[in-house]
Chains A and B, each alone.
Chain A
Amino acid sequence: MAPMKVYGWAVSPWMARVLVCLEEAGVEYEIVPMSRSGGDHRRPEHLARNPFGEIPVLEDGDLTLYQSRAIARYILRKCKPELLREGNLAESATVDVWVEVESHQLHPILRDIVVQCIINPYIGLDRDQAVVDENLAKLRPLLQVYESRLSSSPYLAGDHVSLADLSHFGFMRYFMASEYTGVVDDYPRVKAWWDALLARPSVKKVIAGMPPDFGMGSGKMP
């Protein structure tokens, strides 16, 4: 069985979603590194894999797959289906609910804060504090919902980790490396949940490839 291939740059939070699932599933894989600053994702060779010109892309045998959440589901369905709970209607729905909450509610907020606070300084753009403040104002009530949810169970979809939790890892990693990490201290169950994720071997392995400044401070632009 040939190893799965993942195309992209390891510092990408979308890439991280896929890598952490590969690690959890114990799948053999190799990263095919691409250069964002070199525009590899816009070249015809990559557009043939993903016509939207984005990463990550997975190759598994004849299958070429894009969109990180679709890739994550494929890997888990194939190699660690318990992380999707697909045998149980209510549990699989609960996993899906929190994958969607991350996708549509939390992700846009964390992304905007990370772009303003971590990325902009390195690409010569001023931080727009109004954007940061607007997003922080949305973040707090959202974290309150997470806090309530995590009062019922240690993980988002129940007593055990699932795709719902893993799907949060990539963007949380960078937000928690920003100056606003302290916001989460006001939500102790969220903090405990995040600390539990950080303790997982899969997360420790993937985070090693994700310096908190995306590698930009050391001159290693992705």
Chain B
Amino acid sequence: MKVFGHPLSTNVARVLVCLEEVGAEYELVTLDFLAGEHNVPDHVARNPFGKIPALQDGDLILFESRAIAKYILRKFKSREVDLLREGDIEAAAMVDAWTEVEAQQYYPALSPVVFECIIFPIMRGTTTDQSVVDESLEKLKKVLDVYEAQLSKHEYLAGDFFSFADLNHFPFTFYFMATPYAPVFDAYPRVKAWWQRLMLRPSIKKISGNMPTRF
């Protein structure tokens, strides 16, 4: 299996961590997106939006990191590693719901801080817009209130089992923890403990090891 992308990319990391969780063999073909390699015709043929990641598995080409991730988790599903739980309709619903919550609630609240503090300074040379950060942190705290309540009931987001829903939080949270605002999580002890459990996973240790936070 080939993944086209770059180890710094959060969406590529989403896919790589799933490959590591299932123990699949894969190759990361690095595209230099700072040099515009994602826009060359060969890559646009894989991903018509010219974005990363793209996946090639034999004749099948996929894009959109969450779709790629689910494909991998289904293909390599085993009794030991079943991160989607599609055989259990209620468990699968919880995985889907918290996967959507990451995309629709958590990410919009947390990612602007990562963009302002890390990504834009590197990609655009800008300085942090503090008003964007402050507004995002207020939204994030409200979201974390809900997460704290959920993680008081269960060890993981979709229930008492680790799932794709938890994994989806890794890439952007990892970069958030490299901003000066990491201490925001200190007021949410169960969320913080959940994050620390995630960081102990071999898949996450391996992939985050390729994601420098200082440039």
Q: Hey, which bits of chain A sit against chain B, CB under 8 A?
A: 51-52, 63, 65-71, 73-74, 77-78, 86, 89-90, 92-94, 96-97, 99-101, 103-105, 145, 148-149
Contacts and interface: CB of A to CB of B under 8 A. Distances in A.
B64 A96 contact: yes
Given A51-B146, A90-B60, A105-B49, A63 B70 contact: no
A70 B64 contact: no
Contacts of A74: 89, 92-93, 96
A135 B63 CA distance: 23
A93 B75 CA distance: 10
- Which of the four size classes fits the interface of chain B? 20 to 34
B83 to A, nearest CB: 15
B49 A145 contact: yes
Contact of B97 (A66, A92, A100): A66
B75 to A, nearest CB: 6
Given A97-B62, A105-B49, A78 B104 contact: no
Contacts of B71: 89, 92-93, 96
A109 B145 CA distance: 29
B64 A67 contact: no
B67 A65 contact: no
A62 to B, nearest CB: 8
A94 B97 CA distance: 20
Interface of B is mostly: helix
Contacts of B121: none
Interface of A is mostly: helix
B169 to A, nearest CB: 15
Contacts of B150: 51
Contacts of A90: 60
B106 to A, nearest CB: 10
B67 A96 contact: yes
Contact of A70 (B66, B67, B68, B99): B99
Given A65-B93, A74-B96, 16 more contacts: A67-B96, A69-B96, A69-B100, A73-B92, A89-B75, A92-B74, A93-B62, A93-B71, A94-B62, A96-B64, A96-B71, A100-B64, A100-B66, A100-B67, A103-B103, A145-B49
In the complex, the 5 A-B pairs of residues with the closest C-beta atoms, listed nearest first? A67-B100, A96-B67, A70-B96, A100-B64, A70-B97
